[in-house]
Amino acid sequence: MSLRSSVKSALYGLYARRLTNQLRETTPPRHIGMIIDGNRRWAHQQEGVSIAEGHEAGANKMREFLQWCDDAGVENVTLYLLSTDNLTGRPSAELKNLARIIANLATDLGRVPNWRVHHVGDAAKLPAPLRATLERVAEATATNTGLHVNLAVGYGGRHEITEAVRDIIREHEAAGLGIDTLADDISLDSISNHLYTAGQPDLDLVIRTSGEQRISDFMLWQTAHSELYFVEALGPDLREIDLLRALRDFARRQRRYGS
């Protein structure tokens, strides 16, 4: 390692410790959403690196990101890995590689002691091998009580809300109830209880990499009162200090909830 690299590494470590110390007296968000973006752009910027390798680098970074969140005391993290729009808008070869990379990520996360891994999304829209892996890992980790990791795969916020309302209607019909009482069954609580994240706290903080500043159909219901934080770094270049800065920024904000 060169002298310049050594100095840079030392300064990074000092800054990270300073941020960590600043956060000791603060309460971390209970639920963080991560929109991992910029893997393809990162690959294009690297000489001889394929798009698949860019997605692989992004997945590796998400393994690190989850550990950083766990170390910071965060209880729930949702990773936005593959949207319903991606399933129809990406080339088949890229989707095949993404399915493999996500399956490997889910398997690796399932091996972390006491982490719980949960799939959020429309399983019917996914390739059978990926769907089977997500189901297997979710079942194997279902009783774990540590960091709760949601993998948003084949996920779309509008689709989720639509399906939640449809489920309420189906249950109403199955109970033999008439159309005249259906409206009473549709409420804020009933919709929340039919979402993929039923029983979990709404998202307190949403982080997006790559400098893009949009939600992209991510957790539209659960982010109604979320704080948003945008990082310039592309997905694979995310650093722990980026998360620590986001947590510091979150701690400084006043959450009014309309008051």
Residues designated catalytic = 37, 86
User: Nearest 5°: phi and psi at 238?
Assistant: -60, 140
Strand runs (DSSP E) across the chain, as ranges? 31-35, 76-83, 116-120, 148-155, 205-208, 227-230
Residue identified by tokens 């009933």 is: 190
Cα torsion 128, 75, 115, 70: sign: positive
* Rounded CA separation 159/214 (Å): 18
Name the 3-class secondary structure at 171. Answer: helix
Selection from 209, 211, 259 nearest residue 37 by Cα: 209
